[in-house]
Structure 1
Amino acid sequence: MTDTDRLRRLLGGPDTAWLVKRVRSRLERGASLSGRVTLAEATPAQRRAVELLLGRRAGTGASLSVPLDEVDRVLRTSGASPHGLAAAVELLDGPVRDLARENAETAAAWAAAFAPLDEALTARPELAEWRAWLDSTGLVRRLAPDPAEAAGTLRRLAAVVRRLPSPDMPLGRFAAETCGHAHALDEGPLATLALSSARALAGLPFRSDGGAEARRETWAKVGVHLDELSSTVLCLGLPGDAHTPTGRMLAAMRGEPVSLTLRQLRRHTEPMRAGLVRICENPVVVAAAADALGRDCPPLVCGNGRPSAAVWRLLELLAEGGADFAYHGDFDWGGIAIAAAVHERIGWRPWRYDASAYLEATSDTPLAGRPVPTPWDPSLATAMKDRAVRVEEEQVLTDLLTDLAP
């Protein structure tokens, strides 16, 4: 039978509290109660308490070392705690948590919460780095600390990821169809995570730089628009016409870059006729072409990264008018993924965007990211994996302007 009074005298005072705390920590971690525990800079009172517990001098010096096996033996033989040190700590300080079991249960709960998102991402290798970033930053756990709470958020996030990029849809409708509520992506943890996934697909840093304009531009790059004015497309050299508002504007601005809104393009119902249309990825090409060629620049459309709803609408109008397309973009895996999406949707022929052009370009910038197939020239993906450098459009700008010149 436990002698509670004796146990409290031996081990329950303030001068042995550090020892009880160390033993509890070991028990919670599932470690054995063997070996020694040491207290640096022990006070005289702490040293006397250990001497009373062990029935002998506790040595000299600043530190105090206590053999746990001996403490266990003393407690058992004295009757203070017949079941030993572990039982004594529970009697004095309450039940000991099983941290290993708790951690395993928590890990299992989080794995179950992430399961729908991980399933959705099995077919999205381009989001693998973003998924790893979620783990490394702990963003989900900060936004929704409880796995049961996070499960619903991640389930809706999985539905969002499955539908991105979107083929031109207002944010409210997109949210209603993927999350069950038109305002689900306006604010809150789900909105933050969904916007982060959109940034990943658009080739942007995963963490948002904040601001309504950045949010609007991010969604536009994956085909989701907050309104018809936020989604735009930059173009140069489109011939226009004399009988529609957009056509007259293009004709009047011939030689200057023009930014068309989704609203304008939705109200332009006639096909646009332009012959061969070249597509570039970066606005710098459009600016340089306007400076160098002015009104002599042939039709040029800028995707500005992953195409927005306005870009898709303009390309569709041009395709309806019988246009042929030639495409150039950055030689990196993000640029290749964008090119592949445009190639699948409207089709194009390479504009200095094949293996031979890549190998001729000069660059020493390392190529990072996950490889993406290049169906228009399978040898391009092979060349990029072998050479492992990225080539941006700015580095071949002279060649592109030569092609655009009359």
Structure 2
Amino acid sequence: MAVTDEIRDALGAPELQGLWAAAREALSSSKPTFRLELPDDATRTAVGELYGRPMWGEGTRISVSKLDEALQNRFGVGLSQVVEALHGSVAVAEPAAESSDELLPVLDEHGLAGASWAVPWLRWMRQYGRIGEAELTGITHAGARVLTAMSLTEPPRSWTSRAALAGRIGFPHSLDDGTALSRVVLKAAALAQGVESPGNERDRRALWERCGVAPDAVSATVLTWALPVAGDDAWSAGVRARTELGLPAHLTHLDLDAAPSRLVADGAAIAVCEHPRLLEAAVQEGLRHPVICLSGMPSTAARELLERLTADGAVLHVHADFDWPGIAAALTAQRHGAIPWRMSADDYRTALDRAAQDRTDLPNLIGAPVPTPWDPQLADLMSNTARAIEEEQTLHPLLEDLRNGL
């Protein structure tokens, strides 16, 4: 059977015809996204299964690059090949001459002209960016300067606030929500990341953070206790003073920006937990073992602190809930250098036995399983047992470790 016939058999369902027609139009006009109507449940189901996310309501916006990636992953063919097999060849619009002549050299000055998202971004700016012709060159320059400072292809290791990033190009408020520059920069970031353009405040914040930009320098915090800061500067003295007062410290990106380049001595052992209850108990008992609390999924401030401590040579030990969000939080901390601590299958089994002995009610384990690469048996055991164990229920052995030193 010819490849074209195989594509028609696999993807020619009536429920998908609207998708292919809209995708063909988007390809022919070089649009990065398109609006798709979802008239019934059958269409929503078929499109959702293909695209990789549930579909709701009567319509949705589809990313051309994401649809192409889904097809490549599942069927080994790209969107253009599918559309050609189902609807005939696609006449793709050529880039506007002015984009090639005027704006690509602007991006080339910043080393961005060869990026896969560059030409679609320039087309989008002309067609949908609401940028006046006289302003295009200037905003392309400004956008390129911002984009070169962002993590567009690799996960970020540090975060810069929007205000600080805008300040680098001399306009402190130019990346505030609603500005033309923030709009075009976020569009480029969405294209580079292969995600849909953000449509609300939450999605905009997530995209900024995904690219190494904190929406501000003060709202994201990380809760710490007894950090063994090694400097003799005023910042380090301030952290030590809070410890002497029996007070934890909430650190923001602004705090971390003001901190000395080196925070702790090589080999410092630091506990990382998910819930504030463990840190609170350590404070109440007067345990001076350093603790960092993630408070759920690590904030950008927490991730930056973990990254800096690991670079200093600290040894981080992370513990979290035995549930899927807790495993995800531990995985994130592990990517920043932390070692799982009392997070093995045996530790989970011991906690289950203790709960049964104490007649403690355990919540059901819900959500999609998350792998536990440090101990693959843990994820299997959690899935089979289907019970979650909160960090607070393992408090005693964790505190004992803090008393004795990790």
Alignment counterpart, residue 138 of structure 1, candidates 53, 57, 64: 57
SS in 2 for 1:326: strand
* Per-residue Cα deviation, 1:353-389 (whole angstroms, up to 9, x for no partner): 1111111223532212222221222221221122121
Correspondence 1:234 to 2:223: yes
Are residues 344 and 320 of structure 1, via their aligned partners in 2, closer, same or farther at CA, if it must alter by over 3 Å?
Answer: closer
Q: Distance in 1 between matches of 2:344 and 2:211?
A: 25
RMSD (Å), alpha carbons: 4.5
Post-superposition offset of 1:404: 2.1
Are residues 370 and 252 of structure 1, via their aligned partners in 2, closer, same or farther at CA, if it must alter by over 3 Å?
Answer: same
**Residue in structure 2 matched with residue 73 of structure 1 by the alignment:** none
**Residue in structure 1 matched with residue 145 of structure 2 by the alignment:** none
Q: Distance in 1 between matches of 2:153 and 2:365?
A: 28
Q: Is the 8 A contact 1:281 1:302 kept in 2?
A: yes
Superposed counterparts of 1:309-348, under 5 Å: 309-348=300-339
What letter is aligned with 1:105?
A: Q
**Residue in structure 1 matched with residue 184 of structure 2 by the alignment:** 181
* TM-score of the pair, normalised by structure 1: 0.52
Q: Distance in 2 between matches of 1:304 and 1:107?
A: 41
Are residues 356 and 300 of structure 1, via their aligned partners in 2, closer, same or farther at CA, if it must alter by over 3 Å?
Answer: same
**Residue in structure 2 matched with residue 277 of structure 1 by the alignment:** 270
Alignment counterpart, residue 356 of structure 1, candidates 331, 334, 346: 346
Q: Distance in 2 between matches of 1:249 and 1:217?
A: 32
Post-superposition offset of 1:312: 2.5
Q: Distance in 1 between matches of 2:282 and 2:188?
A: 39
SS in 1 for 2:399: helix
Q: Distance in 2 between matches of 1:109 and 1:244?
A: 64
**Residue in structure 1 matched with residue 372 of structure 2 by the alignment:** 374
Q: Distance in 2 between matches of 1:392 and 1:223?
A: 31
Q: Distance in 2 between matches of 1:161 and 1:367?
A: 35
Are residues 378 and 266 of structure 1, via their aligned partners in 2, closer, same or farther at CA, if it must alter by over 3 Å?
Answer: same
Are residues 182 and 372 of structure 1, via their aligned partners in 2, closer, same or farther at CA, if it must alter by over 3 Å?
Answer: same
Q: Which runs of 5+ in 1 are unaligned?
A: 1-100, 118-127, 145-149, 197-214
What letter is aligned with 1:355?
A: A
Q: Distance in 2 between matches of 1:185 and 1:390?
A: 40
* TM-score of the pair, normalised by structure 2: 0.52
* Per-residue Cα deviation, 1:85-118 (whole angstroms, up to 9, x for no partner): xxxxxxxxxxxxxxxx9965324346788xx99x
Superposed counterparts of 1:200-349, under 5 Å: 224-241=213-230, 243-254=232-243, 255-267=246-258, 268-273=260-265, 275-290=268-283, 292-294=284-286, 296-348=287-339
Superposed counterparts of 1:71-150, under 5 Å: 105-109=17-21, 134-135=54-55, 137-138=56-57, 141=59, 150=62
SS in 1 for 2:250: strand
Higher gyration radius (CA): 1
Q: Distance in 2 between matches of 1:344 and 1:284?
A: 24
Q: Which runs of 5+ in 2 are unaligned?
A: 1-12, 27-31, 34-47, 71-116, 118-149, 167-174, 176-181, 190-195, 356-360
**Residue in structure 2 matched with residue 396 of structure 1 by the alignment:** 394
**Residue in structure 1 matched with residue 383 of structure 2 by the alignment:** 385
Are residues 331 and 320 of structure 1, via their aligned partners in 2, closer, same or farther at CA, if it must alter by over 3 Å?
Answer: same
Q: Is the 8 A contact 1:241 1:251 kept in 2?
A: no
* Per-residue Cα deviation, 1:29-77 (whole angstroms, up to 9, x for no partner): xxxxxxxxxxxxxxxxxxxxxxxxxxxxxxxxxxxxxxxxxxxxxxxxx
Q: Distance in 2 between matches of 1:222 and 1:367?
A: 32
Q: Is the 8 A contact 2:274 2:294 kept in 1?
A: yes
Are residues 104 and 387 of structure 1, via their aligned partners in 2, closer, same or farther at CA, if it must alter by over 3 Å?
Answer: closer
Q: Is the 8 A contact 2:369 2:379 kept in 1?
A: yes
Q: Distance in 1 between matches of 2:275 and 2:211?
A: 16
Correspondence 1:167 to 2:157: yes
Q: Is the 8 A contact 1:222 1:306 kept in 2?
A: no
Are residues 340 and 194 of structure 1, via their aligned partners in 2, closer, same or farther at CA, if it must alter by over 3 Å?
Answer: farther
**Residue in structure 2 matched with residue 94 of structure 1 by the alignment:** none
Are residues 316 and 168 of structure 1, via their aligned partners in 2, closer, same or farther at CA, if it must alter by over 3 Å?
Answer: closer
Q: Is the 8 A contact 1:281 1:329 kept in 2?
A: yes
What letter is aligned with 1:234?
A: L
Are residues 166 and 374 of structure 1, via their aligned partners in 2, closer, same or farther at CA, if it must alter by over 3 Å?
Answer: same
Are residues 402 and 107 of structure 1, via their aligned partners in 2, closer, same or farther at CA, if it must alter by over 3 Å?
Answer: same
Q: Is the 8 A contact 1:216 1:230 kept in 2?
A: no
Post-superposition offset of 1:338: 2.3
Are residues 165 and 138 of structure 1, via their aligned partners in 2, closer, same or farther at CA, if it must alter by over 3 Å?
Answer: farther
Q: Is the 8 A contact 1:241 1:247 kept in 2?
A: yes
Post-superposition offset of 1:134: 4.5
Post-superposition offset of 1:153: 10
Q: Distance in 1 between matches of 2:151 and 2:200?
A: 10
Are residues 194 and 390 of structure 1, via their aligned partners in 2, closer, same or farther at CA, if it must alter by over 3 Å?
Answer: farther
Q: Is the 8 A contact 1:280 1:328 kept in 2?
A: yes
Post-superposition offset of 1:341: 2.6
Q: Aligned pair count?
A: 262
